[in-house]
Chains A and B, each alone.
Chain A
Amino acid sequence: MSAGGTFAAPARVAALPRVVEAPRRRAFDWGSVVVHALLLICVAVIAFPLYYAFVISTQTVQEVVARPPILRPSVHLLENYAEAWGRSHMPRLLWNSAIVAVVSALGKIAISMLSAFAIVYFNFRGKAIAFWMIFITLMLPVEVRIMSTYEVIGSLGWLNSYAGLTVPLMASATATFLFRQFYMTVPNELVEAAQLDGVGPLRFLWAFLLPLSWANIAALFVVLFIFGWNQYLWPLMITNSEAMRVVVIGLQDLIPRTGTHVPEWNVMMAAAMMALLPPVTVILVMQRWFVKGLIETEK
């Protein structure tokens, strides 16, 4: 890697005696220019697909199919977005996705907190079994139990319902482990002091642990929100009515398949932008929590 050279860049010398800081005009640092240039190229390559999708979403069909391709935005943004909004029942799709993402994330956090609390702060018969049952869910993703889960949801009468869309997503071994890990770092003195003061377990959870957990909850929420919003196989299986579709699946209908449709890729991309904007915005706005959540749920 040509960029490796700058690893040798001089270390900070603040702690050394003044002599070292004697004015010594350093040559212009070409190494870091190269690094910046390479990084900017990487950023541009990564950003290109989204930029291109945005550009297409602002063009007319004539501009979309033009050769050579036009790579700068046009002025038809509003028409295309209005068209996509109306044609695909977009408000309903976005609403359903928001429900699935928020409810499944909050539900997951709530039940994981409770079970981690039971596992860390109580001794009870069957604790090891409970722990292993939660652990094993990691090994059973939806994809390996497609047909039979469909039948289970069917026999509960939960097809095409918010319950069916959210409740089965709520069991999460990773969230439980995160809370367990966190509770173990809470000093034992806190529990002892609380117990001396006659604080019961539920009050301890509510008034002591919960306020300490906000950073973890925020981090987890961001990661789980993204996860829920981007669910595909699950909602595809258990919903077949227009009214219950989530946005990632609803977009399908707008894909102009070659040969049979007018190539309205501008409307398609406008809809795609609307579907991807909420989760991407959440990542950008809550970036600090997002990174924390990503790294910590995997421990």
Chain B
Amino acid sequence: MKRSVFRNRALPYLLVLPQIAVTVVFFFWPAFESLRLSLFRTSPFGDKTSFVGLENFRKLLTTPEYYQSIGNTFVFASGVTAIGLGAGLFVAALATQKIRGLAAYRTAVLWPYGIAPPIAGIIFLFIFHPSYGVLPYWLGFVTSYEFNWLLKGWVAMALVILATAWTHVGYNIAFFLAGLLAIPTSVLEAASVDGAGAIRRFRSIIFPLLSPITFYLLVVNLIFSFFGSFGVIHAVTQGGPGGATEIMVFKVYKDGFIGLNLGSSAAQSVLLMILVITLTALQFRFVEKRVTYS
């Protein structure tokens, strides 16, 4: 469709200027700086920089700690995503049964999205508290295993995963609800007239129709847990115990800000950039597809 446009030489540039200025100064320039820094080595006092080529990347990819942080990131992201999508689909599927009160239930599960992950982390920190928390106390009736996140890496990981998934489950529910409500009831009724049972209807009608949204949420949850997870780690575990919750984003910060190893931190930034570009490209392939559906 051809749209009518206004004729003006300078005005369109003035209109995009603020956006482009912010983008160039705070996005492009730093990204180029990161690329550049990743090829240099800065002395500990910051007085000398020398070109080292790909040395920072070589070092990074030969240290076990980096692979540990990749592994941790993977565990963290898949944990948050699996819990978020699973619980989200479960609640949304329940709420779209033919019952009253859909809106009330949606309200009742949506609000945790407003809680910043670090604050959620602090609340879960107390729930998991080895001496005062309610969770180790309850688990104490079942097992004598010591659920102390300060000593056991996987307990610390479970803590940050649950806290993060908690803040994000409402988001997934909102999307699944929108998707489920968009499925025409006539299709489902036709299927049940044809004798398809509830589980079969879910498997062969609802789930395929929902798969674009599921895929979209999968990518968004992965991006969110790769990059939005810094706060909860920083506020709660600081990467501990023993590096068990040190995820990639936290390591970039720690090596750069605290370790002052600018070259390595920049090299890690570049690798993360490649990761996020891949994920975003995936996300947009999906959006394109959905546009052709509608």
A residues contacting B by CB (< 8 A) are: 1, 3-9, 11, 31-32, 35-36, 38-39, 42-43, 46-47, 49-50, 52-53, 56, 64-65, 67-69, 71, 110-112, 114-115, 117-124, 126-127, 130, 133-134, 136-141, 143-152, 156, 167-168, 170-171, 176, 184, 188, 191-192, 195, 200-202, 204, 226, 229-230, 232-233, 236-237, 248-249, 251-252, 255, 258, 263, 265, 268-269, 272, 275-276, 279-284, 287, 290-291, 294-295, 298-299
Contact = CB atoms under 8 A, between A and B. Distances in A.
A85 B220 CA distance: 36
A140 B273 CA distance: 7
Contacts of A188: 1, 3-4
B15 interface: yes
B3 A121 contact: yes
A6 B98 contact: yes
Interface in B168-189: 169-171, 174-175, 178, 185, 188-189
B114 A5 contact: no
B15 A115 contact: yes
Contacts of B198: 1, 4-8
Nearest to B177: A291
Contacts of A202: 11
B16 interface: yes
Interface string B1-20: 10111101001110110111
B15 A46 contact: no
Nearest to A45: B87
Interface in B98-152: 98-99, 101, 105-120, 122-127, 129-134, 137, 150
A287 B107 contact: yes
Nearest to B230: A233
Contacts of B131: 65, 258, 263
Report the 10 A-B pairs with minimum CB-CB distance, sorted nearest first.
Answer: A4-B198, A148-B33, A232-B231, A230-B116, A118-B15, A279-B114, A122-B12, A148-B30, A115-B19, A145-B30
B33 A152 contact: yes
Contacts of B90: 1, 42
Name the interface size band of chain B. Answer: 35 or more
B12 A124 contact: yes
Contacts of A200: 6
B199 A1 contact: yes
B112 A133 contact: no
B26 A171 contact: yes
B123 A49 contact: yes
B66 interface: no
A146 B257 contact: yes
Given A124-B13, A148-B266, A112 B119 contact: no
Contacts of A204: 6
Contact of B108 (A36, A43, A53, A226): A43
A9 to B, nearest CB: 4
Contacts of A151: 30, 33
A103 to B, nearest CB: 13
B39 interface: no
B248 to A, nearest CB: 9
Given A149-B30, A248-B231, A32 B119 contact: no
B107 A147 contact: no
B155 interface: no
Contacts of A290: 110
Interface of B: 1, 3-6, 8, 11-13, 15-16, 18-20, 22-31, 33-34, 37, 87, 90-91, 93-95, 97-99, 101, 105-120, 122-127, 129-134, 137, 150, 166, 169-171, 174-175, 178, 185, 188-189, 192, 197-199, 201-202, 216, 220, 227, 230-231, 234-235, 249, 252-253, 256-257, 262, 265-266, 269-270, 272-273, 276-277, 280, 287
B114 A282 contact: yes
Given A65-B131, A118-B12, A120-B3, A138 B280 contact: yes
B14 to A, nearest CB: 8
A8 B192 contact: yes
Contact of A258 (B94, B150, B188): B150
A23 B116 CA distance: 53
A78 to B, nearest CB: 21
17 contacts: A3-B94, A4-B197, A8-B197, A36-B101, A46-B108, A52-B126, A111-B18, A117-B15, A121-B5, A133-B20, A147-B257, A152-B30, A201-B11, A232-B117, A248-B116, A276-B115, A295-B174
A140 B31 contact: yes
Given A6-B97, A269-B123, A47 B19 contact: no
B169 A46 contact: yes
A115 B126 contact: no
Nearest to A176: B19
B16 A119 contact: yes
Contacts of A43: 105, 108-109
A50 B93 contact: no
Most chain A CB within a 10 A radius of its CB, from B116, B131, B276 = B116
A297 B166 CA distance: 22
Given A146-B252, A248-B116, A67 B109 contact: no
A140 B27 CA distance: 7
Nearest to A230: B116
B125 to A, nearest CB: 7
